[in-house]
Amino acid sequence: MEMSMVEVRGNLAEVINRVAYSGERVVLKRHSKGVVAMVSMEDLKLLEELEDRADVRAAQKARKEKGGVTLAQYRKKHGL
């Protein structure tokens, strides 16, 4: 569902209930463009889990790359 900021201001409690209890996702629009989304806590947890998995995959890939620099080498090179 999409709503303008003006619409949300007048119905905030209802919008929050729809998101929290019905699992609806609401995109808040300003000047006809989506600027923020309201999602349930369950959806947020899922998004964070997906981000964490992507971060782990990226870290595993980076560890396999050749030419890496250890933290000690980086500190020495940059005088830290």
Domain that holds residue 17: 1-39
Question: 31 and 1 in one domain?
Answer: yes
The number of distinct structural domains making up the chain is 2
Give 26's Cβ-side CA count (13 Å radius): 20
55 with 25, same domain: the answer is no
33-50: pLDDT as tens digits: 999 999 999 999 999 999
Q: How far apart are CA 11 and CA 9, in angstroms?
A: 6
- Residue 47 shares a structural domain with residue 66: yes
**What pLDDT was estimated at residue 44?**
96
Its pTM stands at 0.65
